[in-house]
Structure 1
Amino acid sequence: MRSVTGATGNVGAEVVAALAKAGEPVRALVRRPDAALPDGAEAVTGDLDDPASLGDALEGVDGIFLLPGYHDLTGPVALRPADQVAVPAEVTGRPARTFADWPRRARPRFPDSSRTFPADRCAPPGATPRWTPAGRGSVRDKERARVDLSAVLGVVLAVPVVASSLLVLGLLGKLVWPAYFWVLPAGWALAGAITFVPVYEHLVLSVLLKMREPSQGELTWLTPSWAAVCDAAGVDGSRYRLWVEPSRELNAFAAGGRTVAVTRAALDLERPGLEAILAHELGHHLSGHTRATLLVHWLELPARVLSRLVRLIAWVVPHVGRVFRSFGRSAEVLVTVLLSLGVLTALAFLDPWLLLTPLLGPVLAWSKRLGEYRADRMAARLGYGRELALLLKAWNLRDHGDERRLWSRLMAGHPAHIDRVKRLKDLGVRL
């Protein structure tokens, strides 16, 4: 029997999967009894910071993969740089065993993304292995924070709108400063770097989304849940800023590169549910969705202004046509059609890219739904899959299912709750 600590982490999960696939008996030390594990793996709850809780996890094991993932352990299992990777005898009641003591055939083979601990670098039996902790969550941070397909698609599909923005600014620059018309669009694109400045992010998002800072009581309730989620993910929670949206709807959202917000109603959730939705929002940050969205929003602003202007003109056109109603119904229709064609022709001449944006709507919505599924998957990876699925199921019952029409579902950036529950079940989450 092999025991694996950190069994729901990035490296530990690979070890458990490799051992289970090889048919080796494996016992996974987890903090949450409902953690998603592969078939064949035995889950045992315990905490490395509490040696008394490790008895069941270590009973009868022949080897242990010990990967704490953080520095602030206390007690006899605390690891410091260059300490031996072994579980003390006073915990197990039997001689210390190390990862190097495993039979070579039982050592898992790691994928390329986990090169920190490849099997061929394990010390031979009888050797004294050494290990320097890589730090909290730093083993596979690059893989975990990698920008995924949905974030890339969001940027790619925004190209027509961004091109429209730059074209609008170029035309405006042509009127103001013909010889250097390119300065305005180039300056606007370079100014997009301001979205990476925390002060700008907090100021703009607090105004646009009508957020406020949490009260002391709200912060007292919110902070432990956020700290638990960040600890499970192995990230520094202090680099994010928590906000509250004064809404009665139960919701939460992530924005920019450092913003996480919950509605006032979400603060009424029990701690497991609150941690689940915070884990989902952290998943957005780790996948790069929110950073790309804020940058694209900045670059799209001129095109959005032009789009609003076009909508205003489109609203005015029928009213102008009614002026000719006294000349007959045919005259009114003719004037309305001619004005509409004129607006479309002018728009196609001034900014042809803008005409493509309605066609890209369903694809862009699909890419946003992919982002939601990715964030759910990250929450499940952190051990919050069951709580998140139960919340989504409750919301689905509250809303009496998904009553949206087909077109509304195609244009929605959020998938139906029941679809998200099904995806979580496919990941092995058990309700």
Structure 2
Amino acid sequence: MAAYMPRLGLEVPRKAFLLLLVLNLAGFSAALYEDQAGKFDWRQQYVGRVATARWEGQTGPARRLLLATNHHLVAALNPRNGHLLWRQQLPNQEGPLNFFLHQGSATVTVSGRLARAWDLALGVLAWETLLPPGRVQGALLLGNDPHHLVVLQMKTVTLLTLTGGHISWSVTLPDSVAWEAMLSAQAKSLYVIGRSADGYVTSLSLELDDGSSVDKTMTTAPAGLSSLVKECAPYEATSLVCLPHTSSLPNHLYLIPLSSSSNLLSSNVSLASLGLVPELSSAGAVLWGVSEAWERFGGRAWGSKSLILRLGPKAFVLLGFNNGNVTVLKEFEQTDLVQLVAVGPGLSTVVTLTQKNSTAYSTSLISGESGLRFVDSAMTFNVETALKTVDKVRKPEHTKAPLDGQCPSVWWPCTYLLPHFT
């Protein structure tokens, strides 16, 4: 299959590649272009437009770069030179590749009603399991070294073993709720979250052993809320913050508890009370990086008590949450890209990227808990020079951000690789 190479202007692919370079490729896509031949250290062919990319493993040098593309392809690349190690074409009739998950030693795809696990060394199928009927809403790998895959369909939650793809249990959910998302609390229990027609956000807690229901909460949904996975984000394993795109109380954050044992009470906080005003040129404030926030609260529950709020095209704010209190940790002005990444339980780092001119960019690391910039973490670079360093980047041996505000003097690999632990 020939590579998908739309002919576009040079400016778009350059920014796309920088986003890929600095922010882990997570939640974003990049393409390859014919008129850029020779501009990059390497250019991969025959995989199509990248939809999702993951680094293999969590520590040590990355042996493979794992990709899923818009052509229903799953592939592995050598990160040093871009050589294609293997690729597998999924049947187009299955529909889109809904989820591409990698955690620990497990790599799983979910497309249509089929869940598949892959052997990364050989690039072959390890197992394949047919799921119950219903559109797939979510999928999680549970645990740091996961042993289970859990899949949410419209009215069904199914738990599969990763050793052979066997279904451990499958439970039918109440049909009075439109179920949209899942969260895992330290891989011990599972929260399934949805909205009901009578105006409630409903959370159902399930035991992982047998799928039995152990807790249920119902909280009045914010007016105008149309999607939990697009307008809400988890900031603790048992809490959501929502910012509806249309609401009777615009520019208000809504805090929603998901557990009956939570100390958090349902409440709302106006942005004005925090001294924040969305730019007039924007469509209003929006939660930024929502899909990544849901990923952070996967099986590892490496979530953060911080979130990014976008106030305008180049205006962002880092917010901290603690027992229902919301504080402004740092404001970012004239910043092109901001990404919050989890680097360990309760630890997060903000990576920023700002374009200075047509070829120069600056980037820095900020603590997601304090809003303070790591020492020696600011750097300005030329895009053509930076691209030539990619082949030399290796993963650090640790998976935690520096706790004392210090960053290694040669910090470019740190900036580049911190997002890969999401």
TM, length-normalised to structure 2: 0.31
Q: Which has the higher strand share?
A: 2
Is the radius of gyration larger for structure 1 or structure 2?
A: 1
Which structure has more RCO (C-alpha within 8 Å, separation ≥ 6)? 1
